[in-house]
Amino acid sequence: MIKGLLAEGVDTIFGYPGGAILPFYDKLWSYRDSLRHILTRHEQGAIHAAQGYARASGRTGVVVVTSGPAATNIITGLSDALLDSTPLVIITGQVAVQYLGSDAFQETDVVGITQPISKWAYQIRRPDEIEWALSRAFYIASTGRPGPVVLDFAKDAQVGLIEPAYKPCSFIRSYNPLPEVNPASIAAAADLINRAERPMIIAGHGVMIANAEQELLQLAERADSPVINTLLGLSTIPTDHRLFKGMAGMHGNVGANYNTNRADVIVAIGMRFDDRVTGVTELYAPDAKIVHIDIDAAEFDKNITANVHVHADARQALAALLKLVGEAKHGDWIASFDRHAEVERVAVVEPEAFPAPDACGGKMKMGEVARRVSEATGNCAILVSDVGQNQMLSARYFKFTEPKSIITSGGLGTMGFSLPAAIGAKIGAPERTVCCFTGDGGFQMTLQELGTIMEYGIGVKIIVLNNNFLGNVRQWQELFFEGRFSNTPLVNPDFIALAAAYNIPGEHVATRAELDAAIERMIAAPGSYILDVNIDETDMVFPMTPVGKAVDHIMLNRNLRYTPDFNG
């Protein structure tokens, strides 16, 4: 197994040992100079760290844990990785074959549990299956639409003897991970784009996975088409590019959402029309012909019916389109995205300028903290965010100049994701600054991973946006449940004192006047650093499209809605 991992180019494993995986860990001792093992403080931390590693590096993350509770502790991360198309190979220990089905100590049906939330799950019962299973696992995890694969490794299979002859897998019958580009589909898509008067490109995570950022930019510039991103598609186009018009969806930008229902052609690339992007589907993009480019044919017409399906890798599809799409100009249409944001009352909602750093008093807003941290890194950092208000506001106000610059839990929305994922991201991209944004609620779900940071000296910049609430739930309670804050206030510990116990420096930031200097000290620190920032508990994420409304039905604040008949 270890020689197979090395043959696949693995250099880092995230894991946690236990009885049913001990033979593997015993042999790992002999390979400690060539195969780095990161001992996290919880199995959930291990799989989230592997996700961060995979998404920052573009390589397959590897997780090794034992049986029973260890295997069930990785279920959240497994589901998260499947929804967000993250390539992982997870190896779980298992009791010996003779004890399977006997309710032996720390036995659980790993394959039965994980099959619905993985690309493939297989139980290795004999040593001669190891190389076959491992090579298939890496091939399946990393090709087509990436995702997690589970290998349940019985203990007696770990101690059997074989002659190693590892061969990487490059073909599985009936599995076609890279479909050929259909010229007819490309021609039909190009025809729609060339005839469009109000085109829009929605770039999703699939653009990033396919490393198609340059092709996306070339297509947008040639077609003179505005580009909006899904949450996971952010950083596929620089945020300062003239054609970038913000984020789509529930907490997306006003111009992007409003004009979704004004576009006549939408080119959706590597995205699945998630409900948080579309709002109520019956009212989504009523005037648009839709071109859907995706490597996973199961996504076609699942949520939104498309006029043209391009079943292909995003990079190959865009390269083919570029040969047929002509030069165009859509100046008035592009300007309309910004005009909506310039309506007097809307401009208050999507500010580019925040209160001056020397302003006296007043708690800070999450957006201003995110913007200032981004600027302090030269807008070149990797943003790893948790889930909730901190996620939406950091995504909206961080600036992206490089690809693969946002890592967050999109499909599953896993609180506690950010800290271990940031650890993995820093290991996967050690040359880049990694900024971990988290709320006080999510931080406490996995803060034991501060011990992993301490042990391995991993340099993550941690920003806790602390409002003493489960902020996103509080927002919904205020807007839709008449302000009944049922079980959302938090009594928090001293996060800086906790971090100090792990030898991680940090500081409280109580006022706006302290913020810039504190950020400078954090960025200048040679290793990890934590800021506990005092956030206004009434801070909310706006704009917002409420559940059950059209994407262009936009709440600008608690009282004002920007609807299709809004007259400015």
**What is the DSSP code (8-state) at residue 489?**
B
Q: How far apart are the first and last CA of the chain?
A: 64
Query: 3-class SS at 128?
Result: helix
**What is the DSSP code (8-state) at residue 297?**
G
Q: At what angle do helices 43-57 and 75-83 cross, to 10 degrees?
A: 20
Query: 3-class SS at 530?
Result: strand
Contacts 24+ apart (CB under 8 A), 301-310: 302/272, 302/273, 303/272, 303/273, 303/274, 303/275, 303/278, 304/268, 304/273, 304/278, 306/268, 307/192, 308/185, 308/188, 308/189, 308/192, 309/185, 310/181, 310/182, 310/185, 310/186, 310/189
- Mean pLDDT of the chain, nearest integer: 94
Q: Which residues contact 386 (CB under 8 A, 6 or more apart)?
A: 408, 409, 415, 416, 417, 418, 419, 437, 438, 439, 442, 443
Q: What is the mean pLDDT of residues 514-527?
A: 97
For 340, other C-beta atoms within 10 Å of its C-beta total: 24
pLDDT score of 341: 53
Q: Which two tokens stand for residue 1?
A: 């197994």
Q: Which two tokens stand for residue 557?
A: 């604040």
pLDDT digits 0-9 by tens, 452-465: 999 999 999 999 99
Does the pLDDT at position 352 exceed 60? no
Q: Omega into 351 within 30° of 0, i.e. cis?
A: no
Buried b (16+ CB within 10 A) or exposed e, 86-121: bbbbbbbbbbbeeeeeeebebbbebbebbeebbbbb
pLDDT digits 0-9 by tens, 213-237: 999 999 999 999 999 999 999 999 9
Q: What is the mean pLDDT of residues 327-331?
A: 98
35 and 5 in contact (C-beta within 8 Å)?
Answer: yes
Farthest CA pair distance, the chain: 76
529 and 506 in contact (C-beta within 8 Å)?
Answer: yes
pLDDT digits 0-9 by tens, 30-72: 999 999 999 999 999 999 999 999 999 999 999 999 999 999 9
Which element (helix H / strand E) includes 88? strand 88-94
Q: Concatenated DSSP letters for 216-284?
A: HHHHHHHHT--EEE-TTTTTSS-TTSTTEEEE-STT--HHHHHHHTT-SEEEEES----HHHHBSGGGS
d(CA 250, CA 474): 17
pLDDT score of 564: 61
426 and 434 in contact (C-beta within 8 Å)?
Answer: yes
For 332, other C-beta atoms within 10 Å of its C-beta total: 10
Q: Which of 557, 361, 526, 371 is nearest to 463 (CA)?
A: 371
Q: Which two tokens stand for residue 308?
A: 């043209």
Classify 378 in phi/psi space as left (phi over 0), alpha (psi -120 to 50) or beta: left
CA distances in angstroms from 256 to 111, 213, 348, 368, listed in the order given: 42, 20, 17, 21
Q: Count of alpha carbons within 13 Å of 89, Cβ hemisphere only?
A: 25
pLDDT digits 0-9 by tens, 288-311: 999 999 999 999 999 999 999 999
d(CA 120, CA 451): 32
Residue type, 484: R
- Give the global pTM: 0.95
Does the pLDDT at position 86 exceed 90? yes
Task: Please tell me the least confidently modeled range out of 382-396, 422-436, 513-527, 549-563.
Answer: 549-563
Does the pLDDT at position 360 exceed 90? no
pLDDT digits 0-9 by tens, 10-24: 999 999 999 999 999
d(CA 166, CA 158): 16
Q: Which two tokens stand for residue 271?
A: 């995205």
**What is the DSSP code (8-state) at residue 33?**
T
Q: What is the mean pLDDT of residues 555-562?
A: 74
pLDDT score of 161: 92
CA distances in angstroms from 271 to 205, 208, 545, listed in the order given: 6, 11, 19
Q: What is the mean pLDDT of residues 182-189?
A: 98
Does the pLDDT at position 210 exceed 60? yes
Does the pLDDT at position 568 exceed 50? no
pLDDT score of 558: 79
Q: Which two tokens stand for residue 96?
A: 């010996």
Backbone CA torsion sign across 186, 219, 291, 329: negative
Q: Concatenated DSSP letters for 365-398?
A: PHHHHHHHHHHHTTT-SEEEE-SSHHHHHHHHH-
Residue where the block lists tokens 């913020």: 515
